[in-house]
Amino acid sequence: MTAHRLDVDGLLSDPSTRIIVCCGAGGVGKTTTAAALGVRAAEVHGRRTVVLTIDPARRLAQSMGLSELDNTPRQVKGIDADKGGELHAMMLDMKRTFDEVVQQHTTPQRASEIFANPFYQAMSSTFAGTQEYMAMEKLGQLRATDEWDLIVVDTPPSRSALDFLDAPARLSRFLDGRMLRLLLAPARTGGRSMFSLVTASFGLFSRTVQKILGAQLLTDLSGFVAALDSMFGGFRQRADQTYRVLQDPQTAFLLVAAPERDAVREAAYFAERLVADRMPLAGLVLNRMHRSEVPGLPAAESLAAAEALTAAGDHPLAADALRIHAGLVRQTERELTVAENFTDAFPGVPTVSVTAQPADVHDVDGLRTIGALLA
């Protein structure tokens, strides 16, 4: 690969780096990478670090020896504090985060009305884009407290990671959108219900929406919008503010990929988006790369030697080892070719390779090993 090497330690030690966002396809070791970065930032560089995972899988908690993670940062035990660093971890609870937003930006009575509304109950748990919007909210909260030297964000798989950038704007447009404003209009004008229509055209609109959604859902939606009236505008404002934080040099995006065509293609797709949005792309982490301990022995020569030993009836174990070596060399060559699809397209993006490990990482010691390989 022609790309220059990513200086991970330089990134982690730089006090101006306050947020690292790890993005990539599913199953490429992104959660492990985020956790390993957190461990190294705390132990080697003495930074007070929190790792926020948006992935609902429990891998982060398991690798850090925690029984569970929730919406509150929990300190990770067993971290070497000689340099003065600390490591905390948390997993996004999108409904609890949405509840916190409501409580912070409205009165207790209005918050109770919102919490009791069936539309809110559904939206805060399952509505498309809510998870990513609330991830932005939580990231904004963590950054605003100025409690952390470094925040490491482990995003969902790549298409969802793109939603991490897109969904907040979509959801805030919905919550602050024209349709909901129209639904809210009767309540604002003193109408007895949302069906107390102010114009014939709105009556046609309302009847059409009622036919599609159903009267009860539309009533729940109207009540939800009325209760949220005091919060309109705040959703988009906070999303825009966090979006600007993501564009700031204090943030570094790390793409994580395995040496597989689909994973590298996803990384390239995301890199294009980051460049287009002027977001700081720090580099690419190529996970689970293979390498030979005897790089000077080509696959063809190794196979020829194995065949010669087999034909002579000598040293069958040596012949098997030579065949295994040949397979490993060919795998390494394939992986480098796949990786070059990215590095050729983005020659200015630094990369770092992490050698494939013999077993899954499941504890802090394993995370230390990955952190050392990253560095």
- Note the pLDDT of residue 248: 93
Q: Is the pLDDT of residue 190 over 70?
A: no
Phi, psi (degrees; rounded to nearest 5) at 149: -70, -35
Mean pLDDT to the nearest integer, 96-121: 84
Q: Specify the higher pLDDT residue, 217 or 73.
A: 73
CATH of domain 8-173+243-292+337-374: 3.40.50.300
Confidence of residue 94 (pLDDT cuts 50, 70, 90): confident
* Whole-Å CA distances, 198 to 55, 181, 189, 206, 275: 45, 13, 8, 11, 47
Which positions ≥6 away from 237 have C-beta within 8 Å?
none
Report pLDDT for 218: 58
- Amino acid at the residue 291: R
The closest of 40, 89, 19 to 352, measured between CA atoms, is 40
pLDDT band at 173 (very low <50, low <70, confident <90, very high): low
pLDDT number for residue 228:
62
Query: CA-CA distances (angstroms) from residue 354 to 12, 102, 200, 303?
Result: 17, 43, 65, 27
Residue 318 to residue 305: CA distance in whole angstroms = 9
User: Each residue of 226-275: pLDDT tens digit?
Assistant: 666 556 556 777 777 888 888 999 999 999 999 999 889 989 989 998 99
More confident residue, 252 or 362: 252
Determine the Cα–Cα distance for residues 156 and 30; give it in Å rounded to an integer. 9
Give dist(CA 328, CA 247) in Å, integer: 41
| Whole-angstrom distance, CA of residue 62 vs CA of residue 49 | 18
Cα–Cα distance measured from residue 150 to residue 127, given in angstroms and rounded to the nearest whole number: 30
Assign 361 a pLDDT band (cuts: 50, 70, 90): confident
pLDDT at position 197, please?
Answer: 39
The SS3 of residue 19 is strand
Q: Tell me, what's the pLDDT at 289?
A: 92
Q: Which residue has the higher pLDDT, 207 or 364?
A: 364
Other beta carbons within 10 angstroms of residue 308's beta carbon come to: 12
pLDDT at 199 exceeding the cut of 60: no
Residue 127's φ and ψ, nearest 5 degrees, are -65, 135
- Which neighbouring-strand residues pair with 284? 255, 351
pLDDT at 205: 44
Query: Tell me, what's the pLDDT at 233?
Result: 59
- Give the separation between CA 256 and CA 33, rounded to whole angstroms: 8
In the DSSP assignment, the letter for residue 58 is S
Mean pLDDT (whole number) for 123-143:
80
Residue type, 129: G
The pLDDT mean for the chain works out to: 82
Average pLDDT over residues 23-52: 93
Rounded CA-CA distance 53/76 in Å is: 14
Q: What is the pLDDT of residue 352?
A: 95
Confidence of residue 213 (pLDDT cuts 50, 70, 90): very low
This prediction's pTM: 0.83
Alpha carbons within 13 angstroms on the beta-carbon side of residue 141 total 16
- Cα–Cα distances (Å) from 45 to 48, 143, 169, 204, in that order, read 9, 19, 35, 63
- Mean pLDDT throughout 126-146? 82
pLDDT of 48 strictly over 60: yes
Measure the CA–CA gap between 160 and 24, rounded to whole angstroms. Answer: 9
Compute φ and ψ for 175, nearest 5 degrees.
-70, -25
Instruction: Report how far residue 2's alpha carbon sits from residue 352's, in angstroms, rounded to the nearest whole number.
Output: 12
Checking if the pLDDT of 44 tops 90, the result is: yes
d(CA 236, CA 172) in angstroms, rounded, equals: 5
pLDDT at residue 86 in the model: 96
- What is the residue extent of each domain of the chain? 8-173+243-292+337-374, 177-232, 299-335
Q: How confident is the model at residue 187 (pLDDT cuts 50, 70, 90)?
A: very low
pLDDT of residue 227: 62
> Is the pLDDT assigned to residue 177 strictly greater than 60?
no
Q: How confident is the model at residue 194, as a pLDDT?
A: 42
